Amino acid sequence: MPTMQNLRQMLLAIIIGALGSILFIYLHLPLPWLLGAIFTSSIAMRFQNIPILSPKIFSTPARIIIGLTIGSAFTPEILGNLHIYFFSILLIIPYTIIVAFAGMYYYYKVLHFDKRTAFFSSMPGGVIEMVILGEQLKANTSKITLVQSSRLLFIVLTLPFIIQYIFHIDISGNRLITIPLREVYLPDFFYLGIIGIIGAYTAKKLNVSAAYLIGPMVLSIIAFSSGFVHSKPPDELIKFVQVIFGTIIGFTFRGVTLKVILKTLIGTFGHFVILALVSAIFISIVYFAFDFPIISVLLAFSPGGQAEINLIAILVAANIPYITVHHIVRLFIVMNIAPLLAKRIKE
């Protein structure tokens, strides 16, 4: 359990992140609550005399809230149309395989990682999950952490600008995302809290990948699609979650020298270009073959963290069920196939 001093340091970090969000709102930059927090916390954590800590302890409740919010998009009408996405979902299989092995070739041949470290560095899964698997199979976890964090940082930083300045969808400013707190039906708010806790606990006990997001999401889907709950998580809560995630991402490289950070970012940028090219090919195929909205396809085939991509999907009012199902399939492939393939890799 964190001490009171730790909690005060985390709270100060969140306040610094929120100040960055306010700055980004003032400058009319995209996704201000998320990107602004990344900006100021990544600068503040370089100064050793500022008593701040990464608010990782808030990551679990933040993921639960995102899971509940994702579930709120699954209305009975949308669930009835899931079969329309079938062939698009199937393309996630070759997409994941190509992304993983193209990345592994890059890290092994170009950056000279050992094979297992290259494999886990290239996998489009969660940072924490890949580090845990890499540690179990004696890969270089410090390299995996830096590379996977850099990939996530590139994606989170570039997607909002692509959405705003290429597709001309305004996501700047302090806009309303869901419903304000004053309009939330309080019994629904209570039910969502219970659903989130039970879903997270159950999924964790069952060793489900991304348990704190997937568990609450599944129960939330059942609650909203059955009409048991109607009120979505309030707007103020979603904005607070963005500040939390932004602050945590900003702390990713704490304790790492600027030289190592720059070297990692430059090295990872090559993989990011590969990801962008492969993603662009599959996005084009799906968009022209099935005529789904381009923003939804873009987010469905973006190899970022599930929580971060779904958060962006919520903010741009994309087709959340479509995007979520694609990311669940990708995560399922990575978490179930990666350990089996990694064991067969010989150094």
Q: What CA–CA distance (Å, rounded) separates 51 from 49?
A: 6
Across 5-19, 83-97, 314-328, least confident range: 314-328
In this predicted structure, what is the pLDDT of residue 29? Answer: 84
Q: Tell me the pLDDT band of 148, cut-offs 50, 70 and 90.
A: confident
Which of residues 82 and 33 earns the better pLDDT score?
A: 33
Beta bridge partners of 67: none
Answer yes or no: pTM beyond 0.85: no
Q: Taking 90 as the threshold, does the pLDDT of residue 13 lie above it? A: yes
Q: Tell me the pLDDT band of 35, cut-offs 50, 70 and 90.
A: confident
Beta bridge partners of 172: 30
In this predicted structure, what is the pLDDT of residue 320? Answer: 85
Report residue 292 as tokens: 């789904």
Q: Taking 70 as the threshold, does the pLDDT of residue 132 lie above it? A: no
Segment 224-234, tens digit of pLDDT: 888 888 888 88
Cα angle 332, 162, 158 (rounded to 5 degrees) comes to: 65
Q: Tell me the pLDDT band of 283, cut-offs 50, 70 and 90.
A: very high
Q: Which of helix, strand or coil describes residue 30?
A: strand
In this predicted structure, what is the pLDDT of residue 321? Answer: 85
* Average pLDDT score over the chain: 86
In this predicted structure, what is the pLDDT of residue 4? Answer: 87
CA-wise closest residue to 62 among 250, 307, 230, 321: 307
In this predicted structure, what is the pLDDT of residue 8? Answer: 93
Name 51's Cβ contacts closer than 8 Å, sequence gap at least 6.
Answer: 8, 9, 12
In this predicted structure, what is the pLDDT of residue 197? Answer: 96
Per-domain residue ranges of the chain: 56-239+255-344
- Taking residues 94-99, what's their average pLDDT? 92
C-alpha distances out from residue 304 to 276, 279, 312, 326, Å? 11, 11, 11, 12
Segment 165-217, tens digit of pLDDT: 888 887 777 777 777 888 888 888 899 999 999 999 999 999 887 788 889 98
30 φ, ψ (degrees, to nearest 5): -70, 150
In this predicted structure, what is the pLDDT of residue 199? Answer: 95
User: What percent of the chain shows pLDDT beyond 90?
Assistant: 35
Quick check: 106 and 187 in contact, CB under 8 A? Answer: no
Count the helices and strands in the chain (H runs, E runs): 16, 0
In this predicted structure, what is the pLDDT of residue 128? Answer: 66
Q: Taking 70 as the threshold, does the pLDDT of residue 161 lie above it? A: yes
Q: Taking 80 as the threshold, does the pLDDT of residue 279 lie above it? A: yes
User: What percent of the chain shows pLDDT beyond 70?
Assistant: 96
Which of residues 258 and 9 earns the better pLDDT score?
A: 9
